[in-house]
Structure 1
Amino acid sequence: MDDTSELPGEPHVPGLRDAAELLKADRPRTEAARRLRLHDASVVLDRLAELAARLVGAPVAQLSLLDDVQVVVSGAGLPPGTVGSEVPLETTACAVAAAERAPLVVPDAHAEPRAAELPQVAAGAVGAYLGVPLVDSAGHTVGVLCVVAPAPRSWSDTDVATLRQLAAAAVTELELAALRTEYESDRLRWGLAIDAAGIGTFDWDLVTGELTWDARLVEMFGYAPEEFGGTIEDFNARVHPDDLPRVTDALQASIDSRGDYEAEYRVVWPGGETRWVQARGRTLADERGAATRVLGAAYDTTAERAAGMRVTRVLEAMPAGFYSLDREWRFTHVNAEAERLLGRSREELIGQELWTAFPAAVASAFEENYRAAVRTGTPVQFDAHYPAPLNGWYELRAWPSPEGLSVYFLEVTERRRVQDRAERAAQRLALLAQVSAELAGALDPQTATGHLPRLVVPALADWCIVTVVDPDGRPRDVGHWHAVPSQRALVERYAAVRLDAMPATAPLMRALLTGEPVMERGEAVRDLLTEGDARDLLTALAPESAIAIPLRGRDRTLGVMTLYWRAGWTPRDEDLATAQDVADRAGLALDNARLYGQQRALAEGLQRSLLTEPPEPDHAQIAVRYLPAAEAARVGGDWYDAFLQPGGATMLVIGDVVGHDTEAAAAMGQLRALLRGIATYSDAGPGEVLRGLDASMAVLQTRVLATATVARFEQTQDERERGVTRMRWANAGHLPPLVINPDGSVAELATWRGDLLLGVDPDARREESVVTLDRGATVLLFTDGLIERRDADLDAGMARLREALRELAGQRLDDLLDEVLYRLVDGRPEDDVALVAVRLHPQDRPRPPDAGPNRVPDVVPEDPASPTLR
């Protein structure tokens, strides 16, 4: 409607705005209106608009559709260009009629509150308005048919009824136009689809006998248009003679049942070429139920058949089994290899459900993977075992498709057997490697041997007990384990009591005596036990068989590993061979530990026999430590010494013979004896003592090299009164002493200079250094085993030692040395470690209890005015 026929509302007129919002909120209504406006019905609608104006006697009539806006689709008395125009819903009185879903009767627009202020009303262009909503078949208000007069006038009930009837006709015309358009679109799309698919159609009139084919079907059967006679005989003439009876029966069955018809058959052209055709149809009946015609369609499947035959030939020639299943899990194809692998013919399988033909596949890896493939649409690949009668392993690949599932499979039983053997061999090797690592890395091989049951169970047996022979010849169980956690307490109790209840004829005792494995039935072992807890516990554990395997050393049996198996389990030969290998390694480790202990005890005995207890001079506390290397072969080179010279001076010595064996220990003993002999006879200073030792080594042809530091503590009466002591020391290629001052600081002694090693040049001159120490200071001499590491240099080790001494400065001397060893070597030095330390207690107070008793030789003078400290 133009400006003279519309009732455009201002944005702030509540009635019009509310009506517009209500219409916009109804989305189904909006979509229905939008659908109708897309189809052409303008001629009929224009006539309806003219008829409305004439019948109610109004100069203007308008038909509008309302979706998100008002669209004028036809009218009478409208200015040019109005039809097809769009205006907002807020500016039209038609929105009120549509929102209220009832006729809007306005006799006097000037008296209508919602229109009185509109410019068109004020200008006199609109005096009266009558609008009727357009309601479609779904009940949606899609538009309004309205008439307008320039002056006020009354509208009769007849006017309203007339407009209602015309509105209904307009809606019907709009819906018919939409249906026509949609039908044409569907028909066009159907035709295009038929053409694209190459489908031909047929219509066989059963009453007249006339057979109607379209051009494509005529061509499909090899006829020229003028050759086709339009009878069923023309159809029969082209169907292959072998297929004709079957096709005829299918047609007759469809006619008899008034149902569907489906057949695939060959068509033979006049030149002899054969084509495959797939046909589908349906028989129609009249109101009395009599068959009247057969309608259907057909298409050429020759290419599909050829492709299918090629696929079939490929599948039949495949060395892998193949079968396909439909969506109901029924077999639809089985190739020759699948027949062989499954032991069933395709005639037996096709049409049968998988789960019925192979019931063991239910709730197995087969069902789990097949259903997962169908559910997710993703191919799966897996190995699975099917029990008897197939009793084999299979490698399967399954591809889902809309038709069902395609499965390719190979029998891999032999491959799995080889793989299992290889895996078992790898597991055995891994077990042996783990056993070797456990035994080699253990400080105590007996403890490591006690851990064997946890390694061999369940790899080799269901449970295990390990026994070792103590030095006194008595067997002792050191380890046990069971594969089942709930049985471990029973095994522990059985291991605690079985040896006391076991006679000399028991497998374990026989294995210890003979050094050979002894295998026995579980019942026989139980019967050998005396009545009591051991027999009851073994009955509860219920082993079917057991084997006692000796742990053999080089010349003796050092223990037994007893393996047990549950009922129904027979150990394999390779498992027994592996168990014997484990036992041999454990026996060798125990024997090595025995020999190691003997060698270490011998070396340490020699070493310690050469290291004597230090003296305890007045107000000087001396402490020593010796820690052999973790490896027995490295014992022997380091030594310490502390003694008093004839004049009463205290002398400390630290040394290290080059080499790490018992020969080095013997050489160390010679050097130590020579040095202390020279020092205790001559009363010489440190430098002279080292020079004399060098000369003696040359005369005695002691062909070794050694390092040493000798320190002597001296004090005059004046120094005694001042509370200081002098340390005079000489160094033959050894690490310098460290001094912990009374304030806790550690003296670096950076000015020291180490002379040549002992044994290099007997004429070498030995230098001496002197340092003055406050009473309360501590002096530490040590060998390089304390600070040396394979992964760090000596400077880093010295830094660690100085830091430790600073932190430990206030501790008792014995505690200080123990803590230093713990922090720097943690009880496992890579080389021998020797320490000797002296703490100079203040002399103006009694000797502290920590220093222990005052012990000096009787021949040493006790004159406190002596120029040397004792």
Structure 2
Amino acid sequence: MRETTTEQRSLVSAVATRLGSTMDADEAVARLARLLVPAVADWCLVTLVEDDESRAPRRRLRDVGWWHADPERRDLVAAYARARIGALVPGSMLMRAIDSGDVVHVHDAAVEALDRVLAPGPARDLVERLAPTSLTVAPLKSRGRTLGAVTLFNGPHRAPLEPGEVAAVVEVAATAALALDNARLYRRQRDVAATFQRSLLTAPVEPDHMQVVVRYQPAAEAARVGGDWYDAFMQHDGGTMLVIGDVVGHDVEAAALMSQLRSMLRAIAVVTRNSPADVLTLLDAAVRTLRIPALATLVVARVEQTPAERAAGRTRLRWSSAGHPPPVVVDADGTVRALDEDRPDLLLGLDPDRPRVDHETVLDHGATVLLYTDGLVERRDRPLRAGMADLRAALGRHHAHDLDTLCDTLLAELPGGPGEDDVALVAVRLHPQDEPRPPEAGPVVVPPDVPDVPGAPG
């Protein structure tokens, strides 16, 4: 890098390109170490501040990247990286650079300088074996914060960095810091969004005769949330409500609208104890009255049972759809049937005055009901009709699996993969009511104020 500033500019460009192409902070650090060695140093360490505290005594540091030009000495550098932070004493070159935000340069006698800031032990012994003669610590600063530092080491066969080279390292560090900060912000956004998702998509109820399994697979890796949702909860008479929905749109905005619809639907269904069609009608009216700018497809279903049906080992499924892909039933013998309606009702948010209709079917013990969003069956290279055929075929092949395995298998085989569309599933399997609950169904989970058997039809 001594010949011309062209090489310096090339290094800065390479750092911006290689680090900017990943949103994984650890991968970015690994790339940075390999770009700096041997371009400007014989070996290096990259340190990150593990928290956002601005006061130095509360900072936690971690060496997360390292490299050596000599393959035979890389294990020594890795060992030094594991030992260094714990052996540092106050006033070390690393902490001075991070605290001040300025470059710290040791022109010669680097081993002696490091011995003064390392406690006796493995770290100091490793420095003796690595034998650097000079070192430079450049802080990684971005958006007014110091994210960490890069420490460059040169041995006796390489001269210390000259002022022009130090200036180039500062530019490289600034470019790298911006990329690392972007990766850190991305991770924070992803974690916040994942927490938001978990707070919305809660665990379902598990009445005694039913096993309920839910899944959510987001399309947007960055946001980890979208407008798809599932729900399974009980009404006061013991009826179990199943919901699958898809708000038009993606990411956090769609998730926020979804959360409003989900909460209102839950409240309407529990307070009124109405049928699925009535619940959808009231929800549509509420959306208009509250002026919520939401357009959504959804299915609301209710699992219920008369005393005669219970004696006969049968259960009734009543459902209403707002323009959503039809539920699918797999009978115990593997027969697959889609619960298609002659004329699907309108999407939620279009015309609250349009009447909605309930549909019914009777299920025997051993039947499985699957509600899903269109990301499971529709993608750019597969129309909905072909996707429905693929779904029926997959259910026919795998219907004998336990319910968790069945859902995981469908998600592995059918969707277009991350980036295509969100996918939400709610699957219900009816177990015999006159036999013990099977172990794979897990424990019964029902509210304390409702029975754990299906409610009679309203």
- Shorter chain as denominator, the TM-score bin is 0.7 to 0.9
Q: Which structure 2 residues correspond to residues 622-637 of structure 1 after superposition, within 5 A?
A: 622-633=212-223, 635-637=225-227
2:87 maps to 1:501: yes
Counterpart-to-counterpart distance in 1, 2:320 and 2:164: 67
Counterpart-to-counterpart distance in 2, 1:759 and 1:470: 46
Distance 1:469 1:525, change over 3 A: farther
Give the share of equivalent positions with the same residue, in percent. 53
Distance 1:550 1:716, change over 3 A: same
Matched with 2:35 is 455
2:72 maps to 1:492: no
Q: Which structure 2 residues correspond to residues 582-731 of structure 1 after superposition, within 5 A?
A: 582-633=172-223, 635-731=225-321
Which structure's CA Rg is the greater one?
A: 1
Counterpart-to-counterpart distance in 2, 1:822 and 1:792: 16
Counterpart-to-counterpart distance in 1, 2:40 and 2:304: 71
2:19 maps to 1:429: no
**What one-letter code is carried by the residue in structure 2 that aligns with 1:543?**
P
Distance 1:469 1:858, change over 3 A: closer
- Counterpart of 1:658 in 2: which secondary structure? strand
Q: Does the aligned pair in 2 maintain the 1:739–1:778 contact within 8 Å?
A: yes
Matched with 2:45 is 465
CA offset at residue 620 of structure 1? 1.0
Matched with 1:543 is 132
Distance 1:457 1:838, change over 3 A: same
CA offset at residue 764 of structure 1? 1.4
Matched with 2:55 is none
Q: Does the aligned pair in 1 maintain the 2:257–2:294 contact within 8 Å?
A: yes
Counterpart-to-counterpart distance in 2, 1:565 and 1:611: 54
Distance 1:748 1:559, change over 3 A: same
Distance 1:424 1:821, change over 3 A: same
Distance 1:504 1:624, change over 3 A: same
Query: What are the ranges of 5 or more consecutive residues in structure 1 without an aligned counterpart?
Result: 1-416
2:62 maps to 1:476: yes
CA offset at residue 685 of structure 1? 1.7
Q: Does the aligned pair in 2 maintain the 1:435–1:582 contact within 8 Å?
A: no
Q: Does the aligned pair in 2 maintain the 1:503–1:528 contact within 8 Å?
A: no
- Counterpart of 1:696 in 2: which secondary structure? helix
Q: Among 101, 114, 117, which residue is 1:515 paired with? A: 101
Distance 1:863 1:488, change over 3 A: closer
Counterpart-to-counterpart distance in 1, 2:35 and 2:453: 70
CA offset at residue 551 of structure 1? 1.9
What's the C-alpha RMSD, in Å, of the aligned pairs? 3.3
Instruction: Determine which structure has greater relative contact order: mean sequence separation of CA pairs < 8 Å that are 6+ residues apart, divided by chain length.
Output: 2
Query: What are the ranges of 5 or more consecutive residues in structure 2 without an aligned counterpart?
Result: 52-57
Distance 1:636 1:717, change over 3 A: same
CA offset at residue 603 of structure 1? 3.4
- Counterpart of 2:64 in 1: which secondary structure? strand
CA deviation profile, 1:70-114 (whole Å, cap 9, x unmatched)? xxxxxxxxxxxxxxxxxxxxxxxxxxxxxxxxxxxxxxxxxxxxx
CA offset at residue 550 of structure 1? 1.6
CA deviation profile, 1:770-805 (whole Å, cap 9, x unmatched)? 333332111121223445545654455545544544
Figure out how many residues of one structure are paired with residues of the other and give that number: 447
Q: Which structure 2 residues correspond to residues 371-386 of structure 1 after superposition, within 5 A?
A: none
Distance 1:567 1:806, change over 3 A: farther
- Counterpart of 1:584 in 2: which secondary structure? helix
CA offset at residue 482 of structure 1? 0.9
Counterpart-to-counterpart distance in 2, 1:598 and 1:790: 30
2:372 maps to 1:782: yes
Matched with 1:851 is 441
CA offset at residue 840 of structure 1? 0.7
CA deviation profile, 1:16-41 (whole Å, cap 9, x unmatched)? xxxxxxxxxxxxxxxxxxxxxxxxxx
CA offset at residue 513 of structure 1? 0.9
Counterpart-to-counterpart distance in 1, 2:452 and 2:81: 66
Distance 1:746 1:546, change over 3 A: farther
Counterpart-to-counterpart distance in 1, 2:39 and 2:385: 50
**What one-letter code is carried by the residue in structure 1 that aligns with 2:49?**
V
CA offset at residue 462 of structure 1? 1.6
Counterpart-to-counterpart distance in 1, 2:385 and 2:168: 49
CA offset at residue 710 of structure 1? 0.7
Counterpart-to-counterpart distance in 1, 2:204 and 2:453: 21
Q: Does the aligned pair in 2 maintain the 1:633–1:660 contact within 8 Å?
A: no
- Counterpart of 2:250 in 1: which secondary structure? coil
Q: Does the aligned pair in 1 maintain the 2:295–2:348 contact within 8 Å?
A: yes
**What one-letter code is carried by the residue in structure 2 that aligns with 1:614?**
P
Counterpart-to-counterpart distance in 2, 1:539 and 1:668: 61
CA offset at residue 577 of structure 1? 5.1
Matched with 2:54 is none
CA offset at residue 512 of structure 1? 1.2
